[in-house]
Amino acid sequence: MTELRVENRYINCFSIILATLATFFAALYIIPREPVTTGANLFGFFINFSVVGLVPIVLMLLATGGCFWLFATHPERGNFAGLPWVLIPNVVLPSLATLITGTMLTQLERNPIWWLALGFSLVIIGVILNAEFSVLSPTREDNKVRQRKAREKDLRVFIGYFLLD
């Protein structure tokens, strides 16, 4: 067996994560919508507990594990190999974007717009994952500007996505 190049490992992991998320998001299409019922009132927020309501949280946890797996393919992983909690800031935005996507898709009507929302959401999650991967570069001077711009782009995309939902 030949050793995969770093770029190939990244592309393989990236593709597997997005394909897995796309499969589970597409499976949400066959889950019937729940009727709207009022739940417990907690400080003005209605809280409903159901199995369908837990699906976005499970998908968020799946995305979190996928992010750690993807970031383990980074060429400079020696800097954070023994310290997985260092990657937590880089995992937050992709995980929250997955949670928002799962919540949005469970609440949308099942029609062609649902599929457009799924495709748009997967593109946004892919952009966020790519930006977070590029931010993991070492702290050399030539990478500081690129890291700051990638982080700003990542945050702008996430805020725009959150506002659209």
Give the pLDDT of residue 2.
52
Is the Cβ–Cβ distance between 49 and 161 less than 8 Å?
A: no
Q: What is the pTM of this model?
A: 0.74
Q: Tell me, what DSSP letter sits at residue 42?
A: E
Domain range list for the chain: 6-33+46-164
Mean pLDDT of 140-147: 54
CA pair distance 72, 136, nearest whole angstrom:
11
Mean pLDDT of 144-163: 65
Angle formed at CA 69 by CA 78 and CA 26, multiple of 5 degrees? 160
Give the pLDDT of residue 84.
67
Q: What is the mean pLDDT of the chain?
A: 77
Chain segment 23-61, per-residue pLDDT in tens: 999 998 888 776 666 666 667 666 767 777 788 899 999
